[in-house]
Amino acid sequence: METTIKDIAKMCGVGVSTVSRAINNHPDINPKTKEFIMQTINKYNYVPNNSARNLKRIESRTIAVLVKGISNPLFSNLVQMIEKEINRNKYSFFLQHIDELQDEVEVALELIKEKRLRGIVFLGGLLFHSEEKLAQIKAPFVLSTMRILTPASNNIYACFSVDDQKESYKITDYLCKQGHERIALLGAMKGDESIGKLRLEGYKQALRDNGISVDESLIREMQEDIPSYSMQNGYEVMKTLLNEEKEFTAVYAISDMQAIGACKAIFKRGKKIPEDYSVVGFDGLAEAYFYEPSITTLRQPVSAIAQASIQALFRMIKTKKSVAGRVFDGELIERESTQSIRQV
């Protein structure tokens, strides 16, 4: 039999509520009593039963992290930081990966009931959702590295991300300034209405501003039967593009992992980077740095985003009001995978 609060109470010769007060740092308790109880607890290695606590407390101290599109290491990094923050706040956290096909709002709704969630962190996904559906999410939530397009006024939420369109513009513009005029885009899934769309818009805008007309045949979507944002996806799409003998001098992949896959496809074709093709990615992962050649990318301030997200979530849990989200600045990191073709 496990030790329960009753056992501790008996051992200390006090009532269970006093023990409860000691555990939960309630103010009205004699410091000496508390001290004695805590000692006994440590001695017998007592750990309160979480289920019972969560059952009794109107709301649990549990936060869910829902990750869609796990293949992107960007999310692994984010999850780690978020986990640390949640633990620091003495909350439990619950990680759930969501299939590409699953509906993350449905999952969230179930989870809220089942686990009496206190808050939710969405990583990836959350595009395409009616306001009614979103309105059903009663718990506060944050979106990390994403933004919601149709602001739902009935929800308590906040978004933390870079300005995907602006950053996408930045990196495309960088390629243009290097003299590239035919820039292939390895974009998001067909019908993407989220960051994929924003980055696409940024790309187009940059081209236009540089007096380059958009060639739709250079804009490629992810392959749907392969994990999104993955190396393999970048590889396959790039291979197809190369097979078509299209003319272009640069490739912009909307994630570093896709960029790596694209590089491999180029190498397999017997071409060189950056001599034959310049390649840029997006995210700023270590993987891009360690690749050979190291890949020019747009770094997202992952750590800052993670911290801000969790802080906001806790504030919303406390105040029950939405807090302002924030747009972070990305950073263009120029590396070996790109070169100027101005004076060639």
Convert residues 267-286 into a mask of x (bound to a copy of itself by CB under 8 A) and - (unbound).
Answer: x------------------x
Minimum gap (Å) between residue 51 Cβ and DNA: 7
Q: At residue 301, what are phi and psi to the nearest 5 degrees?
A: -75, 75
Stretch that binds a copy of itself, among 5-13, 50-58, 118-126, 205-213 (CB under 8 A): 50-58
What strands lie across the sheet with 183-186, from one edge to the other?
219-220, 183-186, 250-253, 278-280
What is the rounded end-to-end Cα distance, in angstroms, of the chain?
Answer: 79
Does the protein bind DNA through residue 43 (CB under 7 A)? Answer: no
Helix spans in the chain (H): 5-12, 16-23, 31-43, 50-56, 73-88, 104-115, 131-135, 164-177, 195-209, 231-243, 256-268, 286-290, 302-319
Q: How far is CA 291 from CA 7, 232, 234, 262, 279, in A?
A: 58, 15, 15, 12, 12
Minimum gap (Å) between residue 82 Cβ and a copy of itself: 11
Partner from a copy of itself, DNA, none binding residue 23, C-beta < 5-8 Å depending on class = DNA
Q: How many residues does the chain have?
A: 344
Minimum gap (Å) between residue 111 Cβ and DNA: 14
The 8-class DSSP code of residue 296 comes to B
List the interface residues with a copy of itself, window 231-250 (CB under 8 A). Answer: 231-232, 235
Convert residues 57-76 into a mask of x (bound to a copy of itself by CB under 8 A) and - (unbound).
Answer: ---x---------x--x--x
List the interface residues with DNA, window 48-77 (CB under 7 A). Answer: 48-49, 52-53, 55-57
Residue in 51, 153, 213, 343 binding a copy of itself, rule: CB under 8 A: 51
Please report, to the nearest 10 degrees, the dihedral formed by the alpha carbons of residues 54, 114, 151, 298 taken in order: 80
Binding residues (CB under 8 A) for a copy of itself: these are 2, 45, 47-55, 60, 70, 73, 76, 80, 83, 94-95, 97, 110, 113-116, 230-232, 235, 260-261, 263-264, 267, 286-287, 289-292, 294
